[in-house]
Structure 1
Amino acid sequence: MTDVGGSSWPQLPPPVPPRRGPGRALGAVTAVAVVASTLALMGAVPHEVAGHAMAASGSPALSDRQAARPVRKTSGNPLLAKDVSLAAPESCDLPELSRDGEQLKKFYTVLADCLKQSWQPALEKAGEPNLPVKISVTLPKTSACGNAPSRDQAVAYYCGGDETIYAPTDWMLSDAGLNRARHLATIAHEYGHHVQRESGILDAASAEMSSPEPASDKDKAVVRRIELQANCFGALFLAAAAGHGSISRATANAAVADYGRADDSGDHGTRENQLAWAKAGYSGAGPAACDTWSAPSDQVS
């Protein structure tokens, strides 16, 4: 048992089997494609909340962002300063989970508002945008980020081109059923990609990529830092929201533990590191705890 932030954590469960196409290893190639200023992070496995992230490099006009602007830096991003922190959401009364698509969308939409409330002071302190994210529980053939991934590639994904979290009903229910903690972990992770997009971190990361596909070890290392930071950002929210509204401390603990369900992955990191960064966020004082960009390579392997 490992104690983090006053909470006891069970040993990691057995690895989850991969859901991959022929010839692909578990979690193995998250495709990062920079096409016409779009960064696409593709690839997830069952119970791996990393999902699929796509973020456009371009930003809305300054007037649309109320004088806030993203800062295209990774480790030096103002969001990661030590005096930046999240807040407990003012209200987070989540509706019941349901297998009905519209009810599931309502659950995610209310959760996304809780996430926005919690991240508001952090992004304001950093002088960065905090636009609302949109939610879709249907899968488009194409979006602002191009063709959608296949069911074997993702459970949910984020597109920065239209600032939307796509969480197809069938995919999410197949992966999480009505397990509230797992739904929380998944959406909080995808919202973490939205925060990376808003802050400029995702754009800066795309600039570090040397090719449209993360075939090189260097590019895969960039992807891992992106995905592990999204785990940490997701857990930061869970810590801020725990005990407020519908998110109990026990549910938040279970959601953080869910970040360690996946097997080792070349583009999402080892199981231990996936959980370690979630724990760092859950016990951290703010986004500074999630600076995967300054971490030694063995912590983002």
Structure 2
Amino acid sequence: MTLLIIIVVLVAGGLVRNAISTGRNDSGATGPQPTFTFDSQPDGATVPAETGRNPLLTNPNATLVPARCAYSAWGTQVDVARKFFETAASCLEAAWKPLLGKANLPFQPPALNVSATTAGITTPCTGSTSNFAAFYCPANKTIYLPISQLQTDYFKDNWVVYLSVFAHEYGHHVQAMSGILRKANSERADVGPRSTVGLELSRRVELQANCFDGMYLSSSAGGGSLTNPQLTVARKDAYGRGDQAGDMRDHGTSENGGVWFETGLDENLAAQCNTFTASADAVG
């Protein structure tokens, strides 16, 4: 059975954090899995060429069309928050499913786990630890959203921040559906998850999810469901997350995180979110 590195996205203290777990590949298949080749770039970057040629990323016109989304009211009670994320999930599916279909890629919606806290939650990606926040687990295609970890005391009723966190995690699901995540995780396992190349791969994965997040918020704003002041809040938040001094350097700097989010928000083109063909500096 092939073991792959599963990327887990954690949000804590206003900064994105990461935990690494080992498990089966996200498709559930066993046996040897395909890998991809690194092309040496002039600037010294190591780019996974096959991943950069994924059908989702090669159509220069692939975009999420503007769409109205009737988000349910936000609230910190579990039932209220769950309804909010469920309505957002329906809109995210309506946005991404056609794009994947046009690229002849499969789609199935992720499962959602919305809880008050992390207590008592066991996942294939984190085991029984309670030290996690919002993350996507490709092993069971589930997005976990513990309300206690969303910093609601800081962000208050600025629900666009929680929507952005969710859209980022949904971006990882899109990566899983397209095969991007599986290939990146397979190569990361081969080279070592904490090696220089392994950490660069992690950053490319995370920064692309930032860009996909921005694409979705662009679509929602274009449909009249988000206001310009809300987008300003989301932009500011995007520049407040990322690797800090002493971190493992697996998510990218806050500056690069913000830049990739804004690329998705301003361009709304999947091809512009191709972090796997970007220079090393752009994913540092």
Q: TM-score scaled to structure 1, two decimals?
A: 0.76
Distance, in Å, in 2 between the alignment partners of 1:125 and 1:49 is 32
Report the AA paired with residue 27 of structure 2.
S
Two-structure CA RMSD over aligned residues (Å): 2.8
Distance, in Å, in 2 between the alignment partners of 1:121 and 1:291 is 19
Cα contact 2:191–2:198 (8 A) shared by 1: no
Q: What does residue 280 of structure 2 align with?
A: 297
Deviation at 1:176, TM superposition (A): 3.8
Partner SS state of residue 84, structure 1: coil
Deviates more, 1:52-61 or 1:194-203: 52-61
Cα contact 2:26–2:140 (8 A) shared by 1: no
For structure 1, list consecutive stretches of 5 or more residues without a partner in the other structure.
1-33, 62-70
Deviation at 1:254, TM superposition (A): 2.0
Deviation at 1:223, TM superposition (A): 0.4
Which ranges of 4 or more aligned residues in structure 1 deviate by more than 4 Å?
49-56, 210-213
For structure 2, list consecutive stretches of 5 or more residues without a partner in the other structure.
30-34, 37-49
Deviation at 1:84, TM superposition (A): 1.6
Cα contact 1:75–1:291 (8 A) shared by 2: yes
- After superposition, the Cα gap between the structure-2 partners of 1:149 and 1:273, relative to the gap in structure 1 and judged at 3 Å, is farther
Distance, in Å, in 2 between the alignment partners of 1:136 and 1:196 is 19
Per-residue deviation, residues 109-154 of structure 1 (Å, max 9, x unmatched): 1111111111122111111122112211224532233515543xx4
Distance, in Å, in 1 between the alignment partners of 2:203 and 2:63 is 23
Report the AA paired with residue 103 of structure 2.
A
- After superposition, the Cα gap between the structure-2 partners of 1:186 and 1:112, relative to the gap in structure 1 and judged at 3 Å, is same
Deviation at 1:83, TM superposition (A): 2.8
Distance, in Å, in 2 between the alignment partners of 1:149 and 1:244 is 40
Percent identity, aligned pairs only, is 32
Per-residue deviation, residues 137-189 of structure 1 (Å, max 9, x unmatched): 224532233515543xx430111122111011211235643321211110010
Q: What does residue 7 of structure 1 align with?
A: none
Deviates more, 1:275-284 or 1:49-58: 49-58
Partner SS state of residue 136, structure 1: strand
Q: What does residue 166 of structure 2 align with?
A: 187
Pick one of 95, 98, 104 that aligns with 1:118: 95
Task: Verify: 1:162 aligned to 2:137, yes or no.
Answer: no
Distance, in Å, in 1 between the alignment partners of 2:20 and 2:239 is 19
Report the AA paired with residue 48 of structure 1.
L
Distance, in Å, in 1 between the alignment partners of 2:111 and 2:154 is 21
- After superposition, the Cα gap between the structure-2 partners of 1:274 and 1:117, relative to the gap in structure 1 and judged at 3 Å, is same
Task: Verify: 1:220 aligned to 2:199, yes or no.
Answer: yes
Distance, in Å, in 2 between the alignment partners of 1:136 and 1:256 is 26
Q: What does residue 276 of structure 1 align with?
A: 259
Cα contact 1:53–1:190 (8 A) shared by 2: no
Q: What does residue 226 of structure 2 align with?
A: 247
- After superposition, the Cα gap between the structure-2 partners of 1:40 and 1:271, relative to the gap in structure 1 and judged at 3 Å, is closer
Distance, in Å, in 1 between the alignment partners of 2:281 and 2:180 is 21
- After superposition, the Cα gap between the structure-2 partners of 1:98 and 1:43, relative to the gap in structure 1 and judged at 3 Å, is closer
Cα contact 1:56–1:145 (8 A) shared by 2: no
- After superposition, the Cα gap between the structure-2 partners of 1:35 and 1:168, relative to the gap in structure 1 and judged at 3 Å, is farther
Q: What does residue 39 of structure 2 align with?
A: none
- After superposition, the Cα gap between the structure-2 partners of 1:44 and 1:99, relative to the gap in structure 1 and judged at 3 Å, is closer
Task: Verify: 1:57 aligned to 2:25, yes or no.
Answer: yes
**How many residues were matched structurally?**
256
Partner SS state of residue 7, structure 2: strand
Q: What does residue 260 of structure 1 align with?
A: 239
Per-residue deviation, residues 243-280 of structure 1 (Å, max 9, x unmatched): 42532233133223311112534111111101010111
Pick one of 213, 229, 236 that aligns with 2:215: 236
Which structure has the highest helix share of the two?
Answer: 2
Partner SS state of residue 15, structure 2: coil
